[in-house]
Structure 1
Amino acid sequence: MKRTVVVAPDSYKGTARAVEVAESIAAGWRSVRPDDDVRCVPMADGGEGTLEAFERAHPGAQRMPVAVSGPDDRRVDAYWLLLPDIGTGGTGVVELAGTSGITLLHRLLPLEAHTVGFGQAVRAALAAGVDRLVLAIGGSASTDGGAGFLTALGARLLDHDGRPVQPGNAGLAEIAQVDLGPLLPLPPRGAVVLSDVTNPLVGRRGAVAVFGPQKGIETGLERRAESALAHFAELLGEATGADPNAAGAGAAGGTGFALSAWGATTASGAAAVADELGLAAHLGVADVVITGEGSYDAQSEAGKVPSLVRDLAHSARAVRPGALVPVSVALVAGRFGAAPRGFDHALELAALAGGVDAATSDPLRWLHEAGRRLASSPL
């Protein structure tokens, strides 16, 4: 019997783009069941791949090239996406991962990396006349509290001598004055931040404690980085009323806090992308749904792509003549850092390939193999 299969994975961070993941799994499935209706719906959660997901959902979208200062000051040739909303100035979609992301670094810079480039891209979108912004903030390289973003939009962060402080977390401790007078305002229809991180800015669940190690903040640096971030939070909070303890303030090394101080609102990244892609409509006719990400771990159940797709699929169910049939949902992950929950089938590429290194060195091969195996299984 012919099946409708929806392949809706996230990217495998730093290894394979969501589009590549979906197409490789789909090709593996078709190698066994060539007559099935296999639909690729690459997903994202506000990090890497968000621009591509929005671009696929909006055929009239335009890539707008922009050169920015990367997280280590090197030039980065990036782009933002212009969505031509009828009767408006359009929506600008800007991705932090492509402008100030960790994959842009040659080596980690725990105290020096910054978000200036992200702010420069947002400034370019505002200059182009967009009247709404969608800001995807996953994949940050820094823990600068979004200070670089604010300075790129005109804010002045000054030391006791009235001089601009250096970019990055290292400069936050030197701030004596926050001047937001020159800061560009929000566009008329506002800005929405795509993020599934609910951590506060500081404390044991804050940006430094939870996400600092992946950005290079190791033993001996935590106290310094946390103190600098807390100092910045106090000054910016006094100037704007932004709450460093609010859920999501710690997203993207504290960029979530700076964005809330600017006046932006927050939406669930994966859910917002799913809405843009019309994922629910695809799931409503699916017999099999395949999702995945590079590393399935404890955080995956907190609104990440696999758990969102699984839950939407279970809610949708596929209607077939004479019966209501539950959708079968499969997970394909590079590695399992936690036991998969709620999936009918789960495959780990590291296990298929005989190790993590083998899987990451040729991910598309093993994604194809995963698709082939799933097509051969009794899903």
Structure 2
Amino acid sequence: MKIVCAPDSFKGSVTAAQAAAALAAGARQVCPEAEVIELPFADGGEGTLDALMAAWGREPESVATVDALGRPTQARYGLSPDGRTAVIEAAEANGLPQVSDVPLQPLRADTYGVGLIAHHVMTAGAEEILLCIGGSATTDGGTGILRALGVEFLDEEGVPTTPGGAGLNRTARADLSGMDPHARKVRWRIAVDVDNPLIGERGAAAVFGPQKGATAENIAELDAGLNQLATVLAAMAGVPAEDYRSAEGFGAAGGIPLALVSVLGAEVVPGSTMVAEALGLDNVLAGADLVLTGEGRFDAQSLGGKVVDAVASRAPKSSGVVVIAGAVQLSPAQSRAAGITAAFSIAPGAANLEELQSDAARLIENTAAHACALFVFR
């Protein structure tokens, strides 16, 4: 048998690599002679850097940068084995946890530190940047990233605008004359795990602003600022502004895709798709008899481009696909409609969340062993 173990992390308990190892250990209990492959997976959000590094057999590297409020910090990034592809989790520099020690500042926070990481990897020779953008504290439309790469955003009088979301309303043009020449030579791919548009009721400010500390007044200002920035950058790119205002995924991480797509030609892709391509998921799954995947909670969101959905949709039609999760909230009929053979919770009985998290690896291993037994001894 060929068994592939390709889970997401179980947030708050085990990483994707630890989950894959636990699934594999369970499989080997029952199928000691099987070919068992561990492939830690992610959907482009938190944990993607670690998942890719584990799959590539690499360790993350570190670089000096600044957080969303401009304070010095260290951020991790990763390089593919050939050094050509750099993986950046934006939240390493502009994430909410990095600024949780002070009151949130939604109008001031910016993505400059993310741009510093990008500048470092480009200068070091990276030819492609995989930018994972979840968990941000910022709503600046990606302007901070471009500032770090030498772009200036100016008002009607030619005066540089205030960094962060506060200056977006005054933006009249972008001066690209000082931009790092590497910026347009590399291939940019932006991993998103939401489909929200840039502005409006489902936009970056309205939906995600409150978790970044934005009041109703702040949200209105940020939404208007992103609208103004879209108008300016669309005119420069020669496309209708509505293309940017309503594009799926442009509302992710405070609108980061807006600046990078319009100025650098970045591609916005579902995070799970990007990770699948980077890891060669289709090749790994080829010929698999059984595929084990999983995550902390298996629910309706799992089928919207998350890890479980990506794995199930790419698995061979002849293989069994089993989801192992902390909680299973979909019915058997819903699972089968998504190409999933069965789903099992790791809970051995009545237990609270803390108990499940503290013993997650062992519970995942045991549940995987039970699931594999159904396929081996049927």
Deviation at 1:158, TM superposition (A): 4.4
Partner Cα separation in structure 1 for residue 308 and residue 196 of structure 2: 20
Equivalent residue for 2:86?
Answer: 92
Equivalent residue for 2:5?
Answer: 7
Cα 1:55–1:357 shift into 2, 3 Å: closer
- SS in structure 2 of the partner of residue 226 of structure 1: helix
List aligned pairs for 1:80-119, cutoff 5 A: 80-83=77-80, 90-106=84-100, 109=104, 111=106, 112-119=108-115
2:122 paired with 1:126: yes
Higher helix share: 2
List aligned pairs for 1:293-312, cutoff 5 A: 293-312=295-314
TM-score, reference length from structure 1: 0.81
Q: Which amino acid aligns with 2:268?
A: T
Partner Cα separation in structure 1 for residue 125 and residue 284 of structure 2: 34
Equivalent residue for 2:73?
Answer: 76
Aligned counterpart in structure 2 of residue 288 of structure 1, from 281, 287, 290: 290
- SS in structure 2 of the partner of residue 273 of structure 1: helix
Asked if the contact 2:4–2:284 (Cα under 8 Å) also holds between the matched residues in 1, the reply is yes
Deviation at 1:303, TM superposition (A): 1.9
List aligned pairs for 1:211-226, cutoff 5 A: 211-217=208-214, 221-226=218-223
Equivalent residue for 1:354?
Answer: 351
What whole-Å deviation, never above 9, does each CA across 1:213-263 have from its counterpart, x for those lacking one?
544446665334323332333333333346232232222221111110222
Asked if the contact 2:40–2:52 (Cα under 8 Å) also holds between the matched residues in 1, the reply is no
- SS in structure 1 of the partner of residue 343 of structure 2: strand
- SS in structure 2 of the partner of residue 201 of structure 1: coil
What whole-Å deviation, never above 9, does each CA across 1:294-333 have from its counterpart, x for those lacking one?
34444332322110100111xx24xxxxxxxx21111123
Cα 1:155–1:329 shift into 2, 3 Å: same
Cα 1:366–1:344 shift into 2, 3 Å: same
Partner Cα separation in structure 1 for residue 168 and residue 347 of structure 2: 41
Asked if the contact 1:32–1:372 (Cα under 8 Å) also holds between the matched residues in 2, the reply is yes
Cα 1:375–1:157 shift into 2, 3 Å: same
Asked if the contact 2:141–2:254 (Cα under 8 Å) also holds between the matched residues in 1, the reply is yes
Q: Which amino acid aligns with 1:123?
A: H
2:271 paired with 1:274: no
Partner Cα separation in structure 2 for residue 104 and residue 349 of structure 1: 32
Cα 1:372–1:62 shift into 2, 3 Å: closer
Partner Cα separation in structure 2 for residue 144 and residue 350 of structure 1: 42
Partner Cα separation in structure 2 for residue 45 and residue 355 of structure 1: 27
Cα 1:119–1:295 shift into 2, 3 Å: farther
Deviation at 1:51, TM superposition (A): 3.0
Where does the alignment leave 5 or more consecutive residues of structure 1 unmatched?
Answer: 318-325
Equivalent residue for 2:18?
Answer: 20
Q: Which amino acid aligns with 1:47?
A: G
2:324 paired with 1:329: no
Equivalent residue for 2:177?
Answer: 181
Partner Cα separation in structure 2 for residue 159 and residue 203 of structure 1: 24
Partner Cα separation in structure 2 for residue 100 and residue 275 of structure 1: 26
Deviation at 1:123, TM superposition (A): 0.8
Partner Cα separation in structure 2 for residue 272 and residue 163 of structure 1: 38
Partner Cα separation in structure 2 for residue 96 and residue 42 of structure 1: 20
Q: Which amino acid aligns with 1:109?
A: L
Q: Which amino acid aligns with 2:136?
A: S
What whole-Å deviation, never above 9, does each CA across 1:327-353 have from its counterpart, x for those lacking one?
111112344566553322223457866
What whole-Å deviation, never above 9, does each CA across 1:91-128 have from its counterpart, x for those lacking one?
33323233323444436836143322211110111222
What whole-Å deviation, never above 9, does each CA across 1:20-66 have from its counterpart, x for those lacking one?
2211232344345444432110112222333344435556x685431
Asked if the contact 1:353–1:366 (Cα under 8 Å) also holds between the matched residues in 2, the reply is no
Partner Cα separation in structure 1 for residue 293 and residue 159 of structure 2: 50
Partner Cα separation in structure 1 for residue 171 and residue 45 of structure 2: 29
2:232 paired with 1:230: no
Partner Cα separation in structure 2 for residue 17 and residue 24 of structure 1: 11
Partner Cα separation in structure 2 for residue 208 and residue 360 of structure 1: 33
4+ runs deviating over 6 angstroms: none
Q: Which amino acid aligns with 1:92?
A: A
2:161 paired with 1:169: no
Aligned counterpart in structure 1 of residue 45 of structure 2, from 41, 44, 47: 47
Asked if the contact 1:352–1:366 (Cα under 8 Å) also holds between the matched residues in 2, the reply is no
Using the TM superposition, name which of 158-167 and 35-44 deviates more: 158-167
Partner Cα separation in structure 2 for residue 164 and residue 350 of structure 1: 56
Asked if the contact 1:11–1:48 (Cα under 8 Å) also holds between the matched residues in 2, the reply is no
What whole-Å deviation, never above 9, does each CA across 1:182-233 have from its counterpart, x for those lacking one?
2334343532223343332112332233444544446665334323332333
Asked if the contact 1:146–1:255 (Cα under 8 Å) also holds between the matched residues in 2, the reply is yes
